[in-house]
Structure 1
Amino acid sequence: MDDRPTAAGALIRELEGHLLIAAARAEGRAEAVRFAGSLVWLTDSQREEVEAHYEEAHLALARRSWERTARRGSELRAEYEERYRALRRRWWATALVGAALVLAALALTTVPGA
């Protein structure tokens, strides 16, 4: 088989990333226009500069938030995987002890004179 699902998944994730950034830019732009509009004393060029700075600041804030969320998701995943491994080790230990007890019980019941 070829690797189309992996390539398709990567393409979808990349597209989602571009759409997320575009949405954050649009939100930042809308907020920048609203904010700059409240500063009635600005000239047109000053207003454009304030809007551009505000939009970039909004995008930077969104990016930091996404990075924190991704970092926390990685931390939680690592914690979950460690707990899963510990639970799995505990389950195997319990199963082995249980099997040993069953074998010992069987051995005692099949020993003549017991």
Structure 2
Amino acid sequence: MKLVIAIVQDEDSIDVTEALTEEDYRVTKLATTGGFLKSGNTTLMVGIEEEKVQAVIDIIKNICKKRKETIVTSSAFGGNEGGYTQQYPIQVDVGGATIFVIDVDQFVKI
């Protein structure tokens, strides 16, 4: 038995969850927050047999594509309170997924 833990961007989570449940995989969804952009993401957990791990990863991979997003950041000039703040847009890569596959010694459903 394996536990697949996938961290995906919020906007991909609904599509991934629907695709997995359509293939009869049971999914547990946790709301989490990322550290880089402080944006919302979702952690999905799927308990499956070892031979089905690649199928689950493929479903996630087909939906969670990397893409560019423009965010507005600010920079303080002047070095003290008398300075000013300038905002400017930067492009960052978002999306994709981080996936962990963990061995499960025991699985109990009550």
Q: Smaller-chain TM-score range?
A: under 0.3
Normalization by structure 1: what TM-score? 0.23
Normalization by structure 2: what TM-score? 0.23
Q: Which has the larger radius of gyration?
A: 1
Q: Which has the higher helix share?
A: 1
